[in-house]
Amino acid sequence: MNTGIARKATAIILTLAMIMTMGIFTTGTVSAASSSAPKIEKIKYDGKGKVEVDFYGKVKYKKVKVTVKDNSGKKYKASIRDKDNDELEFKIKKYKKGKKYTFTIKGIKKAKASKYTSVKGKVKIPAAKSAKNNIKMKDIDYDYEDQEVSFDFKTKVQWKNPKVKITDSNGNSYSTRITDKDSDDLEVWVGGLTYGEKYNYSISGIKAKGASSYTTIKGTFRAIDD
C-alpha cells in the first residue's frame, strides 16, 4: 500500500474517533430530566390560596399534580384549578397567611421533550392587613327621661370588656352602666347629669372591625335631649 494513502487513512480514522468521543461526552452531560423540565417565567399569588404559574414556551401534562410544603416541611394539600399549554393555576388548602411555600408540579414537560418530569417554585402568601383603628362617631344622643346616652358610630366596631367613664369639667365622675351594644351603637345609663351641661366620655375595650388591637376613645357631649 502506498505510504501516503496509509497515512491519510490513519488520519481519517483518528478524526472519526475524536468526533465520536466528543459526541458521547456531550450527550452524557445533559440529563433527560433537566432537558425536559420547563422553565418558570412568573409566579403570581391571586389571593385566597390561589397561585398562577406561567412557563416559558409550551408545556404538556400527564397525570399532573401539585404538592406543597412550608419552610418547616409541613405538607399542604393543593388542587389544580386550571391549566393550559403555558400556565397552570392551583389552590393551596388550609394555608397560613404570611408564610412562604415551596411547590412541586409533577407530570409536566416541555411540549417537544420526550419525558415527563417535575418543576419547583416558591410563593409567599402575604400577611393579613389589619384595619386601621380609626373609629368615627356619627352621633351622641342624650335621653333625659331615661338618663341614657347613646353613642352611634360611623365605623363598624367590636368589643372586649368595654367600660365607659363620664366626667364633668371639674373632673367629677358619674355612675355608668352599659345597657346595650352592637356593631355600630352603644347605650349607657348615666346617673346625675345636669341637663344642658357639657361632659367628657371615655370608652375602652373598643376597636374598629378587623383591627388588630382594642383601644380607648375619648370625646365630649352635651346633655341635651334633641
Residues 144, 217, single domain; the answer is yes
**What local confidence, expressed as pLDDT, does residue 33 receive?**
44
Beta carbons within 10 angstroms of residue 56's beta carbon: 12
Residues 145, 73, single domain; the answer is no
Residues 144, 120, single domain; the answer is no
Residues 113, 155, single domain; the answer is no
Q: In this model, does residue 1 exceed pLDDT 70?
A: no
Kindly give, in sequence order, each residue whose CB lies less than 8 Å from that of residue 10, ignoring residues fewer than 6 positions away. none
- Per the structure, the complete domain to which residue 218 belongs is given by 137-222
Our count of domains for the chain comes to 2
Q: What is the pLDDT of residues 130-187, one digit of tens each?
A: 778 899 999 999 999 999 999 999 999 999 999 999 999 999 999 999 999 999 999 9
Show the cell assigned to 58. 409550551
Q: What is the pLDDT of residues 52-84, one digit of tens each?
A: 999 999 999 999 999 999 999 999 999 999 999
Show the cell assigned to 67. 404538592
Angle at 129 between CA 122 and CA 157, to 5 degrees: 155
Kindly give, in sequence order, each residue whose CB lies less than 8 Å from that of residue 158, ignoring residues fewer than 6 positions away. 183, 206, 207, 208, 209, 211, 214
Position 4 confidence tier, pLDDT thresholds 50, 70, 90: low
| H runs (alpha helix) in 29-103 | 32-36
Show the cell assigned to 87. 400556565
Q: What is the pLDDT of residues 88-126, one digit of tens each?
A: 999 999 999 999 999 999 999 999 999 999 999 999 999
On whether residue 185 sits in a domain, the answer given is: yes
Residue 4 burial (C-beta neighbours within 10 Å; 0-12, 13-18, 19+)? exposed
Show the cell assigned to 156. 363598624
> What is the CATH classification number for the domain harbouring 44?
2.60.40.1220
Show the cell assigned to 34. 433537566
**What does the pLDDT average to over 187-205?**
97
**What local confidence, expressed as pLDDT, does residue 21 receive?**
40
**What local confidence, expressed as pLDDT, does residue 19 receive?**
41
Tell me which H or E stretch contains 149.
Answer: strand 148-153
Position 6 confidence tier, pLDDT thresholds 50, 70, 90: low
Q: In this model, does residue 11 exceed pLDDT 90?
A: no
**What local confidence, expressed as pLDDT, does residue 225 receive?**
81
Q: In this model, does residue 46 exceed pLDDT 90?
A: yes
In the listed set 70, 93, 124, which residue is the last one of a domain according to the structure?
124
